[in-house]
Amino acid sequence: MVVDSQTPSYLFNTGRGFQSQNFLGCHWHSNQTADFRVWAPHALAVAVVGDFNHWQPTALRELGTTGIWQGQLSKIFPGQLYKFRVTAPDGQSQLKIDPFARQFEAKPGDAAVVCPPSRMHWHDSLWLARRKRTHLERRPLNIYEVHLGSWRRHPDGSYYTYTELTASLIPYVKRLGYTHIELMPVMEHLLDRSWGYQQFGYFAPTSRFGDRDAFLHFVDACHQANLGVFVDWVPGHFIRNYDALYQYDGTPTFEYADRGRADNHRWGAWNFDLGKAQVQSFLISSALFWLEECHLDGLRVDAVSNLLYINYDAGQEHRLNQYGDDRNVEGIAFLKKLNGVVAARHPDVAMIAEESSAYPQVTGALQDGGLGFDFKWNMGWMHDTLNFFKLDPLYRADHFQLLTFAFVYMYDEHFILPFSHDEVVHGKRSLMHKMPGDRYNQFANLRTLLTYMLAFPGKKLNFMGAEWGQYLEWRDWSQLEWVDLDDHLNHAMQRFTAALNQLYHQQRPLWEQDQVDAGLRFTHTDDPQSVTMSFIRQAKRPHDFVVATFNFAPVEHRQYRIGVPYCGTYHLLLNTEAQAFGGTWTRLEQTFTATAQPYRGQPASLTCTLPAMGALLIAPTKVSRGSTHV
């Protein structure tokens, strides 16, 4: 028998079925019939049960020796629920979800929903055309991270729908000046407290907020508002429930056969067997589904370290691979394959790694041995920076290396600087609550922190609520503390965030050369006792730069000298202590004159009053042509 190497079943079983959702699952036809197909290679029998047959099993037949079971049923209507009844090798039967379902019933149920083909008519062609012209590495990227279930809720505690979020979340994020929204996982999941990270619906937007098409309209509306959309995606592990993917055919099917490697103690989940060809087809099909059918602008791949190391999970016994180390050879190969497939098909989208180890070349090119991601979260910078800002200013001089150490490795990867949900939950306190001092000084510290993040090389991400300094840490079971905005300091903080984000978007030096040495020059970073810092962010044009100066102590510095590359006049872009932002300065120094007085390696310098616990951003207005660029 000659096997057609291009059949969907062959491609799926050989790890090359990258659109397997178009073959497997339930496919409804307008003549009220539906094809059902499911992969259960070791099952003795498979049947489909649902509303259409009164939940009495209708047997499917195996497609040759492919491990795929299929059948066509009549009198099937959209909206009907169904599951597969899988009989294991030991003769026991279990109702199982459809791994390729496009929609599930509302929790606490997990039956799949018969869906007709989407009739979505997209209106984002201009956005997609712009996306193709310039990669995000060379554009401003400022992300607002959102948990849809707790951004806003109705007074009775019910969720906002995708449609309601379209009307409220999108204009809010746009008004605040962010460039992208990043959604915590919206793939279908049962447990709210998992935040979406223990999934079972890898092709289905969660029904909590509406149906599949409502989610697509949300993405379309974001693009029409010039907002990109990322979604967290979890290829490392899946929900433990027995009626989901676990031991799907009665044997380890999606997870490792070795229970020690399959059991993920850290998250209470099961690890995918990433070396299995069918699992690779399943996961890469899922990734492409979200990028292609849902028009997403990228995926933030969760817990990449768990895919890179065999012993990453604290509960696992120490294991070694065939080469005598703890690298997860299958996981590394899968990530390279995933990123290679995505880059070949969609070079204009972003693959983002949430990776917490020092694994090299996470964003390195595949041809150079790298993993091929576009960006990596800079977890080291995040931890060190927050640890510094949490200190009483009295002790910051002794721990200045918490800020300066990141300068050593800031170009090792293409970084995103994240103040994410993980840093404002489980007793870690909100960003505002981490700041020392009384309420006024907490706001002053927070404004300086966000300005430091803005000026440091790398793209940006902030979790919802930080934009106005919410004091309570994040609670996934209730909405943000919007009542805070009745307070003038919180309202001023929100105004500051909008101004800061607008400035970031307008000033090319703050993002044009994020990944290269030429994008930053040190002018005053080696003087910890002053607890101040100054550096220059440089755009490609020599005269286009921003001077960023920070004071991390509550002591004002008059006649503070800053080295600059040119003589001439400079103007103020931002003073974090402006009264409009909640500070105390009612009159701001708007212009500065740089003279030919060399200072700290620069041929010219200017002086300013550096506010206590504050920051200044300054840009050239007119510089002398005869001065030397250093």
- Catalytic site residues? 302, 354
234, 185 Cβ separation under 8 angstroms: yes
DSSP notation for 341-376: HHHHH-TTSEEEE---S--TTTTS-GGGT----SEE
Residue type, 96: K
Report the distance separating Cα 547 and Cα 616, nearest Å: 8
In contact, 142 and 459? CB cutoff 8 Å: yes
Distance, in Å, from the CA atom of 153 to the CA atom of 120, rounded to the nearest integer, reads 27
Is residue 146 within 8 A of residue 227, CB to CB? The reply is: no
Element (H, E) at 173: helix 162-176
The answer to whether the beta carbons of residues 549 and 492 sit under 8 Å apart is: no
Rounded CA gap, 95 and 82, in Å?
10
Least Cα distance to 610 among 544, 524, 505 occurs for 524
419-to-26, 163, 295, 380, 423 alpha-carbon distances in Å = 40, 28, 26, 12, 7
Both structure tokens of 617? 């951003």
**Pairwise CA distance, residues 615 & 535, whole Å:** 12
Element (H, E) at 606: strand 604-610
Pairing relation of β-strands 415-419 and 269-271? Answer: unpaired
Helices (H), ranges, 140-205: 148-151, 162-176
Give me the numbers of helices (H) and strands (E) for the chain, helices first please: 15, 30
| Cα–Cα dist 123/77, whole Å | 29
Kind of pairing, strands 187-188 and 201-205? antiparallel
Q: Hey, what's the torsion of the CAs at 103, 108, 110, 116, to 10 degrees? A: -30
The helix (H) or strand (E) run that includes residue 221 is: helix 212-224
Residue 408 to residue 512: CA distance in whole angstroms: 20
Residue type, 574: L
Distance CA 258, CA 27 (A): 34
